[in-house]
Amino acid sequence: MAHVQLLGTGGTIASRGNGAGGSVATDTAADLIGTGYGALGVTARDVLTTGSYRLGLQDLRTIAEHVREALADPGTDGVVVTHGTDTLEETAFLLDLVHDDDRAVVLTGAQKAADSPDPDGPRNVGEAVLAAADARLRGTGALISFDGTVRSARGARKAHTTASSPFRGGVEVAHMAGTELVVTAAPARREPLPLPPAAFDDVRAEIVTAYPGATPDLFDFAVRSGAEVVVLAGSGVGNAGPGFAEAVGRAVDAGCAVVLSTRAPWGPVVPLYGNGGGTDLVAAGAIPSGDLNPFQARILAALLVSLGIAPDRMPEAFRTHL
């Protein structure tokens, strides 16, 4: 009999109304298991019980360690992590970066609280368990299963605040057709990185966004206040206004890694423009993030910093994992 471990971390899927105080994560992982798995065995334990908007890097490291612990059990065929949708894309990407096992790790959650009239959590958990147990999904890394679609963690992001299917991007790996899981693709895998060390908890990695009239003041402040990484969410293919190229140069000279991403929801960073645009930003030392959005680029950069990658080696290390 196939066996799946479910790790609960909180989020909407575990939340119930708290009167005027709003919904709060209270349900345990055991509350989420449900029934109807047939020959599948499912066991559950709690890692955290909180809204994902409250998570810090230390919490993400804790989740990664618990996933590794679950996979250390040879009787486990896959792992499901229930998680709030707000920052699920960051945790999923970290898990994918460090995943060194063929067995799938599947993250899921809910858009409706557990005490809503028609909660979506039970269905999402059921589908995630099927995906985690399916031998055809071995070797696919960390995945996100939501509302009938299973997609790669890399490249995925929450694209709608309330829709039942809030995630877009990544590679669709499988989808539900009735009660059957139809496998459609296998995402390319990269060499796994080590689990984040304790130093990961305290990495200062900030995101600064470009917009009309933006000055580099906040960028400079982040560097002065101790940021080890600044992700610049540029406009378009990776651009920023007057003064940013000079600010990037100052940051790099000070030993701060700068990653150039884009505020556009989809598409790669392609340095094309001068006069302070992407070409000048990269010439000043910014590292293009490829197809990674600012939030996943931040997770990769923070992990590399915590692993002791020196600033002069950061561009090469970063590109290796794009």
Active-site residue set: 12, 85
Pairing of strands 149-152, 287-288: unpaired
CB-based burial label for 62 (10 Å; 0-12, 13-18, 19+): middle
DSSP classification of residue 239: B
DSSP classification of residue 13: G
Q: Which of 318, 214, 190 is nearest to 258 (CA)?
A: 318
DSSP SS3 for 148: coil
Tokens standing for residue 83? 């998680």
Tokens standing for residue 194? 């080590």
DSSP SS3 for 10: strand
Q: Could you give the angle at which helices 88-98 and 57-71 cross, rounded to 10 degrees?
A: 50
Whole-number Å distance between alpha carbons of 276 and 287: 15
CB-based burial label for 177 (10 Å; 0-12, 13-18, 19+): exposed
Whole-number Å distance between alpha carbons of 288 and 255: 17
**Helix intervals (H) in the chain:** 29-32, 57-71, 88-98, 121-133, 217-224, 244-253, 278-283, 294-306, 314-320
Q: Report yes or no: 159 and 169 within 8 Å, Cβ to Cβ.
A: yes
